Structure 1
Amino acid sequence: MGNNYTPRTPFQPHPIVRSASAQTVLAMVRPKGIDLMRDEQLVLLDAGPDYTGVEPGRTVRLHGYYNPSRVPGIQRGLVMILHGWEGCSHSNYNVILAQRLVEKGFATFRLNLRDHGPGLHLNPYTLNKGIFRGTLIEETAAATAQVASMAGKSPFYIVGASMGGNFALRLAKWHSEQEPFHNLVKVVAVCPAINPARATDALDRNPATRRYFRTRWLRSLRAKHAFFPELLDVEKLERIPLVRDMTECFIGQLAARGEVSFRSADEYFAAYAVLGDALTTLTVRTTILTAKNDPVIPVSDFYELAPHPLLDVQIHSTGGHCGFVDAPPVRHRMADLILPELLNA
């Protein structure tokens, strides 16, 4: 295996939905028949010590939702699914993928990162005092270790999309360099944000994506501020039109409180980027699935990843950002791309 960039299962949608905007928008359409929530189980996880600097000595708590295999007598393994920035366990692509997986004999666990979640059974903003940031890999790894143990003797897989794909790749590094996860056999990252700085600039250039992410981030920060007003000057952030400049201000406020040592947004972005030779220490098979026309994740960075026998980078001609949708009628195909990666692991 190596970086030949050729998709195992080429995604070839109808010409009328091949554009980046069509793919990205259609990804938000939820199909009929999604009933994953009827047998999901809320799980609260001990995610180890707090690395935000806000609550030293206190254990971080993260939560997620478990669904068992729906195929009697078949347990192909446990798949942990990671959402993107300002998404959650109940985001469209998460529940569509999870439902497809449980119908194929996999159990799934949809983990929510800090300050993310649907708010159905608990308030995600009150679980921990410190504010989410992309560098908090330690607590995610601690939660992942607990999820992996739930697989028992079965294989364990990690699948992440967008920022969740970034976390998935860093968890593959953690498994390879720090502490192995129980029975981990495959990691799949879909449209991963491997270069957060360039991704932020890309979403800022597009008024629609800038408005979408800026609105959701501000909503999240306001919700956090309602419980912990001393952490952040949200009103100052509300006056800033660009997400990059908001991030600069956000990091500056955290640095002033002694919570981070980053001197700029670029230093912060670089701290959780997955670029160049970042994946040359892999000990677990890892696949990246992305699209040339992703409006948020520039494709050029994937060509610059150093090759590795366990790394497979598949670049589709279209798919938008976490889209991979065909129409008419609307048919979500992301699971069709991911399933072969798990079944052939």
Structure 2
Amino acid sequence: MLGFGGRPALAEARLVPAQRATVEALAGADPVSPEDYLPPRWLRNAHLQSILSSSDLRRRRGLRRLQALGAVSTEHIFDGGAGVRLQGWHTVIPGMEVRGLALLLHGWEGSAESSYMRMTAASLLEAGYEVVRLNFRDHGNTHHLNEDIFHSCLLPEVLHAAIDVAEKFPQRPLVAAGYSLGGNFALRLALRAPEIGLPLKHVAAVCPVLDPHAALMGMERGLPLYHWYFQRKWRHSLELKRELFPERHVYDDETLSLSVRELTRWMVENETDFGTLENYLEGYSVAGARLANMTVPANILMAQDDPVIPFADFANWQLPATARLEVARWGGHCGFIENAHCDGFGERWVTDRLTRG
């Protein structure tokens, strides 16, 4: 059991001051609105927002918030089914009055320690929720847990792990939130939850990958920085996988130097049963009417200036009555930074939506 900053666990049950203030504020305030997100002019650049969203400055800010709360995190290995193991971190403020349990899902090549995961965890803890930050396969320091590599259609193992989370921490209302690819997973989790018996009450998705075809094209045609960033991180992940399982993964450095599109194509043809890149991308799309049968309430936050997920894709999105799309004018990709301290509207919005039920 690890405390952020080495703070000891508290023996007596109590309502921590930060939790009390947040709960009282939520109870008496109107819901936060994307229309209220008005960053200072110097923060209205989409690329700056997107870069700051995953910066070390913001990651440290998230860590300091957790340390200030006296949050304690415990590692768990959750059952993904068929022998799959997924790491997660259960975080709680010792002695807090627990209102529920929140499952947080990160974006592609992010992790449980990504800035938005830490910041959202801190906000939810203040609101009285225990938090599980789940690492997808091959994210964080988990490449050794499973032999096969990660891809975005591995929803079954995330569903199975979510059930394990609910069983390990029973008698708590379960909610979930995700960012980018994690938002995509959260929505697919909500779609499938009733049929698999997952007691999921509500989900929130921030800048979710809607149409993977368009997202890939947007990465290629946008600022080269984004393609370079994801290509570099994915290549490093695959290098680690090769070092750990050299007999299973025999791809060469030339393969790893391919563009994101061509490396994805190689992965699909050599590591999956989808056959073609197009079939694979369709496999995790939530565009069009794919969420029409979703009954779990869902809130979705999108920024008009998102440079990674094309906002135009959302215009014709067919959502069920249980889902609501909310749009901010600014925010970039999973940014929504509000000030020089790198506090974010995104984590406030997620907390507000999930805790209001």
TM-score range with shorter-chain normalisation? Answer: 0.7 to 0.9
Q: One-letter code of the match for 2:65?
A: I
Between the aligned residues of both structures, percent identity stands at 32
Aligned length: 317
- Return the alpha-carbon distance in structure 1 between the equivalents of residues 312 and 250 of structure 2: 35
Among residues 198, 204, 212, which one is paired with 2:229 in the alignment? 212
Amino acid at match of 1:112: N
Give yes or no for the alignment of 1:15 onto 2:32. Answer: no
Name the residue aligned to 2:85: 61
- Please tell me whether residue 26 in structure 1 is matched to residue 52 in structure 2: yes
CA shift for structure 1 position 195: 1.1
TM-score (norm 2): 0.84
Distance 1:313 1:344, change over 3 A: same
Amino acid at match of 1:185: K
Whether the 8 Å contact between 2:210 and 2:286 is mirrored in structure 1 is: yes
* C-alpha deviation, 1:26, in angstroms: 1.8
Report if the CA contact (8 A) 1:198-1:298 is conserved.
yes
Q: 2:279 aligns with which of 247, 267, 270?
A: 267
Q: Aligned to 2:167, which of 131, 135, 149?
A: 149
Show CA shifts across 1:58-114 (max 9, x none). Answer: x111110001245x4521100000011011101111011101211221100000111
| Residue type at the aligned position of 1:84 | G
Greater helix share, 1 or 2? 2
Q: Which amino acid aligns with 2:305?
A: N
Residue 38 of structure 1 deviates from its aligned partner by 5.8
Matches within 5 A, 1:185-334: 185-205=201-221, 206-229=223-246, 230-240=248-258, 242-254=259-271, 260-334=272-346
Q: Which residue of 1 aligns with 2:11?
A: none
Aligned twin of 1:164: 182
Q: Distance in 2 between matches of 1:98 and 1:234?
A: 39
Higher relative contact order (CA 8 A, sep 6+): 1
Preserved contact between residue 127 and residue 355 of structure 2 (Cα < 8 Å): no
Are the equivalent residues in 2 in contact too, given 1:221–1:234 (CA < 8 A)? no
Q: Quick check: 1:222–1:234 contact (8 Å CA) kept in 2?
A: no
Deviation for aligned residue 1:12? 1.4
Inter-CA distance 151–310: structure 2 relative to 1 (3 Å threshold):
farther
Gaps of 5+ in 2: 1-31
Counterpart residue number, 1:4: none
The one-letter code sitting in structure 1 at the alignment partner of 2:33 is R
In structure 1, what is the equivalent of residue 348 of structure 2? 336
CA distance in 2, matches of 1:239, 1:313: 37
Shift of 1:290: 1.1
Of residues 108, 130, 149, the one that matches 1:85 is 108
Matches within 5 A, 1:91-170: 91-117=114-140, 119=141, 124-170=142-188
3-state secondary structure, aligned to 1:84? coil
Asked whether the 8 Å contact 1:69–1:106 carries over to 2, the reply is no
CA distance in 1, matches of 2:73, 2:311: 35
Cα distance, 1:329–1:138 mapped onto 2, change above 3 Å: closer
Matched AA of 1:94: M
**Aligned-residue RMSD, C-alpha:** 1.9
Taking structure 1 as the reference length, the TM-score comes to: 0.87
Aligned mates of 1:331, 1:310 — CA distance in 2: 29
Structure 2 CA distance, aligned partners of 1:339 and 1:35?
Answer: 15
Q: What's the CA shift for 1:329?
A: 4.4
Q: Which amino acid in the other structure matches residue 188 of structure 1?
A: A
The residue identity in structure 1 corresponding to 2:202 is K
Secondary structure of 2:196's aligned partner: coil
